[in-house]
């Protein structure tokens, strides 16, 4: 079995606890469904948020959907002029038999502009 990285990102309309948690839960659940992995297959997850998001750690959303034994870390993205605001990004490390070509990276809402080459139709 190999470990693969699965990337994902989403955006929120404003920085508030429930919106950040809901958007993060949605992102993780779609990533899990589209890549067909169990929580026990997840080795770790790294979250970043843009500097305009301060209300809650996205890792709290992961714990709320059962990822409570998964090592989780949250970081702040670097501020780059003109970059996408109000954005939550994640890199999930998953043990899987899938090849890198079979991995589906998930970019929701306004985050689809980050990697249009990887965005699901």
Average pLDDT in the 77-103 region? 96
Domain ranges (residues) in the chain? 2-113
What is the sign of the dihedral through the CA atoms of 28, 46, 101 and 4? negative
Residue 71 has pLDDT above 80, yes or no: yes
**63 tagged catalytic:** yes
**107 tagged catalytic:** yes
Give the architecture-level CATH label for domain 2-113.
Answer: 2-Layer Sandwich (3.30)
**DSSP notation for the chain:** -EEEEEEEEEE-SS--HHHHHHHHHHHHHHHHHHHT--GGGEEEEEEEE-TT--SS-THHHHHHTT-TTS-EEEEEPP--TTPPSSEEEEEEEEEES--GGG---EE-GGGGGT-TTT---
Catalytic residue among 26, 77, 87, 97: 77
Catalytic residue among 7, 25, 34, 110: 7
Residue 121 has pLDDT above 70, yes or no: no
Give the integer Cα–Cα distance in Å for 111 and 109.
Answer: 5
Residue 52 has pLDDT above 90, yes or no: yes
Q: What per-residue confidence (pLDDT) applies to 120?
A: 53
């Amino acid at each position: 079995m190999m470990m693969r990285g699965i990337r994902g990102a989403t955006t929120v309309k404003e920085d508030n606890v429930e919106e950040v948690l809901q958007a993060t839960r949605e992102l993780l659940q779609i990533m899990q469904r589209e890549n067909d992995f169990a929580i026990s297959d997840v080795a770790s997850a790294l979250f970043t948020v843009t500097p305009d998001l301060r209300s809650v750690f996205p890792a709290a959303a992961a714990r709320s959907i059962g990822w409570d034994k998964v090592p989780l870390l949250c970081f702040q993205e670097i501020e780059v002029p003109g970059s996408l605001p109000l954005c939550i990004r994640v890199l999930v490390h998953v043990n899987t038999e899938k090849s890198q070509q079979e991995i589906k990276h998930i970019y929701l809402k306004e985050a689809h502009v980050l990697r249009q080459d990887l965005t699901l139709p």
